[in-house]
Amino acid sequence: MKASYPVAIGGDGCYIIDGTGKRYLDGSGGAAVSCLGHSHPVVTEAIKSQLDQLAFAHTGFFTSPPAEALASLLVDHAPKNINHVYFVSGGSEAVEAALKLARQYFVETGQPERRHIIARRQSYHGNTLGALAAGGNAWRRQMYDAILVESSHIAPCYAYREMREGESEAEFAVRIADELETEIVRLGPQNVMAFVAEPVVGATLGAVPAVDGYFTRIREICDRHGVLLILDEVMCGMGRTGYMFACEADGVRPDILTIAKGLGAGYQPIGAMMCSSAIFSAIEQGSGFFQHGHTYLGHPAACAGAHAVVSTILDEQLIHRVRDQGQKVMAELRHRFGDHPHIGDIRGRGLFLGMEFVANRDSKAPFAPEEARHKRFKAAAFDAGLICYPMGGTIDGRRGDHVLIAPPFIISDDQIGELCDKLAAAAVRALT
């Protein structure tokens, strides 16, 4: 409320320009949103063209060509069993829709006792009350705890902090995943509705991918107990990790999947909830009506823009570019910060990367929360002309700091150098 910000007046590829003419390299895509950079002509033209034809038609009466085309394009490239799409206006709405669909599915299939949601500590799934209740970030929940529905939270697959000495990745994957089975048994399998997780945890942990085998085990546990697997790809999806859908890297199929952010690339607000035919058919053959809705579902201009975004990602083979440029960024981060006394872990996948700050590398002890190192880092980077995404509370909602790095897919080699130069300048000011 007290903050004062410069006025953004223009965009140029990977840069945002303020009212003084200062250029800022967008090293985080805003919040992992601007995957194509700023002022992409193909996307802006698609939106303008659609506005000339039709701006809005309520989905209670009409569908539209852009919505139908975008749905088909997404299904064509989605995990094998995901073949139905429900368009909303953003990530929180997508997660709300996923949770409500899961509940309605069990009611309509004669299992109304299934109501419990299990997620993971330090997860974030949105700011609306249902999505916030599913999330496991203590600080974000604290203000609203009294009005949140009950949910359970197990350990995240956070190898840097959770793996035991002498434990292999395979052993760690099984041990951490089996916390889900323990919690399902505690609640009673007949009472559990869904498990919700980000394939690569974004804002609250700082680009933490699961170790190999973790999600395979999670899928087995969900199947054994009839629990739906909801994967939240709002931040990590749409090519950000070097796969169109992040879960592809883990070889796991969800029952319900959510996307947003990179789907619209910042050009229009849009998100989507996607689901399997089994879930869709249960509703279709039951009440025939998903008891949910928002005013701007399937907005034609938003869908036209998103179709241009996804088409551009595919046509320009940007997913391959994400892998290539992501490897370069990771290599440069490790070269520059691998021995830094106050950077304990460098992690991520594709162009979705994070660095965790520590007071002591050997003990992994975090900085004192009151030092607010993430805020100092953000300010120092911004002064240097870099937009990045630092956060505090990495460990438990209060302790720990990290920075998230998620530049546009079009970032050049020279801009990778600029990104790392400015991260290094921020580290000098904020971490010493």
Return the pLDDT at 304: 98
Residue 290 · residue 280 · CB < 8 Å: no
As a whole number of angstroms, the distance between CA 152 and CA 150 comes to: 7
The average pLDDT across 285-297 equals 95
As a whole number of angstroms, the distance between CA 213 and CA 168 comes to: 12
Structure tokens, 261: 């952010």
Check whether 1 has a pLDDT greater than 70.
no
Architecture of the CATH domain 44-315: 3-Layer(aba) Sandwich (3.40)
Return the pLDDT at 138: 87
Task: Indicate the residue type of 330.
Answer: M
pLDDT band, residue 422 (cuts 50/70/90): very high
Task: Indicate the residue type of 43.
Answer: V
Closest listed residue to residue 276, CA positions, set 292, 254, 297 = 254
Per-residue pLDDT tens over the stretch 385-413? 999 999 999 999 999 999 999 999 999 99
Structure tokens, 94: 């997508």
Check whether 243 has a pLDDT greater than 80.
yes
> In which element (H, E) is residue 134 found?
helix 129-134
Per-residue pLDDT tens over the stretch 15-51? 999 999 999 999 999 999 999 999 999 999 999 999 9
Whole-structure pTM value: 0.97
pLDDT band, residue 419 (cuts 50/70/90): very high
Return the pLDDT at 282: 97
Residue 298 · residue 263 · CB < 8 Å: no
Query: Number of helices and strands (H, E) in the chain?
Result: 14, 17
Per-residue pLDDT tens over the stretch 308-343? 999 999 999 999 999 999 999 999 999 999 999 999
Architecture of the CATH domain 8-32+317-430: Alpha-Beta Complex (3.90)
Residue 397 · residue 122 · CB < 8 Å: yes
Check whether 139 has a pLDDT greater than 90.
no
Check whether 2 has a pLDDT greater than 70.
no
Closest listed residue to residue 205, CA positions, set 274, 151, 131, 136 = 136
pLDDT band, residue 220 (cuts 50/70/90): very high
Do the domains 44-315 and 8-32+317-430 match in fold? no
In the chain, where are the structural domains located? Answer: 8-32+317-430, 44-315
The average pLDDT across 248-266 equals 98
Query: φ and ψ at 339, to 5 degrees?
Result: -115, 15
